[in-house]
Amino acid sequence: MATAASRSGRRGGDEEDDERTAAMRRLRVLSLHLQDPSPSSEAGLAPAACAAAGRRRATGGADAAAALAAYLRGRHRDTQARVFEFFLSRPDLQTPVEMSTAAHRELCFRQLCALVREAGVRPLSLMANDPAEYFAVMEAAGGADISLGVKLGVQYSLWGGSIINLGTKKHRDRFFDGIDNLDYPGCFAMTELHHGSNVQALQTTATFDPVTDEFIINTPNDGAIKWWIGNAALHGKFATVFARLILPLQGKGGDPADMGIHAFIVPIRDLDTNAVLPGIEINDCGHKIGLNGVDNGALRFRSVRIPRDNLLNRFGDVSRDGKYTSSLPTINKRFAATLGELVGGRVGIAYSSVGILKVSVTIAVRYALLRQQFGPPKKPEISVLDYQSHQHKLMPMLASSYAFHFATRYLVDKYSEMKKTNDEDVMADVHVLSSGLKAYITSYTAKSISVCRESCGGHGYAAVNRFGALRNDHDIFQTFEGDNTVLLQQVAGDLLKQYQEKFKGGTLSATWNYLRDSMGTYLSQPNPVTSRWEGEDHLRDPNFQLDAFRYRTSRLLHSVAARLQKHSKTLGGFGAWNRCLNHLLTLAESHIESVILAKFIEAVKRCPDEKTRELLKLVCDLYALDRIWKDIGTYRNVDYVAPNKAKAIHKLADYLSYQVRLVAQELVDAFDLPDLIIRAPIGMQSEAYAQYTQHVGF
What is the Cα–Cα distance from 240 to 162, expressed in whole angstroms?
7
Catalytic hit among 139, 192, 341, 481: 481
Which residues, other chains included, contact 464 with Cβ-Cβ below 8 Å and sequence gap of 6+?
97, 679, 680, 681, 692, 695
Distances (CA, A) of 421 to 333, 418, 428, 494: 20, 5, 13, 22
128-132: list long-range contacts, CB under 8 Å, 24+ apart: 128/164, 130/76, 130/416, 131/344, 131/347, 131/412, 131/415, 131/416, 131/419, 132/74, 132/75, 132/76, 132/412, 132/413, 132/416
Question: C-alpha dihedral over 603, 609, 612, 615, to 10 degrees?
Answer: 70
Cα–Cα distance measured from residue 358 to residue 678, given in angstroms and rounded to the nearest whole number: 10
Helix (H) or strand (E) run with residue 84 in it: helix 77-88
Three-class secondary structure of residue 493 per DSSP? helix
Residue type, 479: T
Q: How far is CA 394 from the centre of its chain?
A: 19
Nearest to 364 by CA among 26, 620, 698, 665: 665
Alpha-carbon gap, residue 494 to 100, rounded angstroms: 44
Q: In 3-state terms, the chain is what percent helix, strand and coil (to 5)?
A: 65, 10, 25
Rounded CA-CA distance 189/298 in Å is 9
Contact 355, 142 (CB under 8 A): yes
Tally of CA atoms within 13 A in the half-sphere of 239 that contains its CB: 34
How far apart (Å, rounded) are the C-alpha atoms in residues 195 and 261? 13
Give the burial string for 444-477 (b: 16+ CB within 10 Å, else e): bbbebbebbbebbeebbebebbbbbbbbbbbbbb
Whole-number Å distance between alpha carbons of 547 and 529: 13
Residues paired with residue 60 on neighbouring β-strands, in sequence order: none
CA angle 633-475-689, nearest 5°?
Answer: 95
Torsion of CA 392, 540, 649, 670, to 10 degrees: 0
269 strand-pairing partners: 276
How close are the terminal C-alpha atoms of the chain, in Å? Answer: 66
Instruction: Check: CB of residue 216 under 8 Å from CB of residue 304.
Output: yes
Q: For residue 666, report the phi and psi dihedrals to the nearest 5 degrees.
A: -65, -40
Report the candidate in 662, 621, 659, 660 with the shortest Cα–Cα distance to residue 24: 659
Helix or strand (DSSP H, E) at 633: helix 632-637
Check whether 230 is labelled as a binding-site residue.
yes
Catalytic residue status for 481? yes
Residue whose C-alpha is closest to residue 120's, from 180, 173, 163, 60 = 180
Do 116 and 172 contact (CB within 8 A), yes or no? no
304 phi and psi angles, rounded to 5 deg: -85, 125
d(CA 587, CA 329): 32
Tell me which residues are annotated as active site: 481
The annotation places the binding site for FAD at 191, 230
The annotation places the binding site at 191, 230
